[in-house]
Amino acid sequence: MSVVSPNSPTEQDLAAVAENAERAVNHITDARADIARIIFGQETVVEQTLVTILAGGHGLLVGVPGLAKTKLVETLGTVLGLDARRIQFTPDLMPSDILGAEVMEQSSDGSRSFRFIPGPVFSQLLMADEINRASPRTQSALLQAMQEYHVTVAGNPHDLPRPFHVLATQNPLEQEGTYPLPEAQLDRFLMQIDVHYPDLEAERRILLETTGAEQAKARTAMTAEELMEYQQLVRRMPVGESVVEAILKLVRSARPQEGAAASDVTNLIAWGPGPRASQALMLTVRARALVDGRLAPSVDDVLALAEPILQHRMALTFAARADGHTVRDVISRVKEKIA
């Protein structure tokens, strides 16, 4: 298998990656076990959330209220050793409530000066709870932070702590009192993670283990410094030529095309994913391999992550929606070309 890497790794590099990966897998396994003691029946959601963070990105958790989205983010903050803070997004929330503000202070000699008071965005793991309940103006306060890892207040830039991740929860858009996130902000989320109802056995366990006098508490499985080390490890993992070609074919097949290149599938797409989607897949397939204890990703990883990577980066035409097509159906048809 030919290997593609921007750094052309040597045998010594690959040996170092393998050695570091073994230690990373042990910590990741411990983290998943600790999360499983708190969150029941959401194994896929937990995996995708860990993949998002290991890939160094932000995640958007979408689901109806009461599915433990907020609990999952709180648990992750403890397990991964991150300084976590939570913002409850409401219609009256202002950008300064997120970023912070400058206040004027008067010293004992009568001189006055401005002092910056950091907002809750200055954390390592920011939980943006029900992000689509705030106005678009407030939602936009996170755009610079999520992309550039600093914020600008009164013309002065302020760096954010590292690592910095945003895990936002969102109720379905059909619910009352919600504002759709703009496409520019959706694209900054590495993955959209759909949270579904638990199965029967998981819900039975929820009933028995969360309504008693004592409840399990999360434990720290790694430090923030170790997490950053594993994020760099993900970027050093080798990627096969077949995986690169699968990523390119998948993303390019999800864009609208004209002329001879058009097909029954692409004619349904109004706009599709850009190169950022390809970059997201390149990182997340490596992270997924590491979470599963493998040293290199496969085409199966590309297919498994196609929906959470692409679904919030594309839209269907009006005619396609009128005919009952959905984004998930279109992605499934695109995946068939890769498989």
CB of 125 within 8 A of CB of 80?
yes
**What stretch of H or E contains 121?**
none
- Mean pLDDT computed over 130-145: 86
pLDDT for 12 beyond 70: no
Give the rounded distance of the alpha carbon of 313 from its chain centre: 13
- Mean pLDDT computed over 109-114: 78
pLDDT for 155 beyond 50: yes
Cβ contacts of 175-182, under 8 Å, gap ≥ 24? 175/64, 177/91, 177/133, 178/132, 178/133, 179/132, 179/133, 179/134, 179/135, 179/136, 179/139, 180/132, 181/60, 181/131, 181/132, 181/139, 182/136, 182/139, 182/140
Q: CA–CA separation, 313 vs 254, rounded Å?
A: 10
In this structure, the answer to whether residues 37 and 69 fall within a common structural domain is yes
In this structure, the answer to whether residues 56 and 131 fall within a common structural domain is yes
Q: How many CA atoms lie within 13 A of 136 on its CB side?
A: 8
Total tally of structural domains belonging to the chain: 2
In CATH, what number is assigned to the domain containing residue 268? 1.10.8.80
In this structure, the answer to whether residues 208 and 243 fall within a common structural domain is no
Which one, of 288, 309, 337, lies nearest residue 190 by Cα? 309
The total number of residues shown for the chain amounts to 339
- Name which of 49-58, 76-85, 137-146 the model is least confident about: 137-146
In this structure, the answer to whether residues 33 and 144 fall within a common structural domain is yes
In this structure, the answer to whether residues 265 and 331 fall within a common structural domain is yes
pLDDT at 284: 95
pLDDT at 287: 94
Domain that holds residue 279: 239-338
pLDDT at 228: 93
pLDDT for 190 beyond 90: yes
In this structure, the answer to whether residues 32 and 169 fall within a common structural domain is yes
pLDDT at 175: 62
Question: Is 290 contained in some domain?
Answer: yes
Nearby residues of 53 by Cβ (< 8 Å), 6 or more positions away: 59, 76, 80, 163, 165, 227
pLDDT at 13: 65
CB of 188 within 8 A of CB of 143?
yes
pLDDT band at 143 (very low <50, low <70, confident <90, very high): confident
Question: Is 163 contained in some domain?
Answer: yes
Nearby residues of 301 by Cβ (< 8 Å), 6 or more positions away: 243, 284, 285, 288, 289
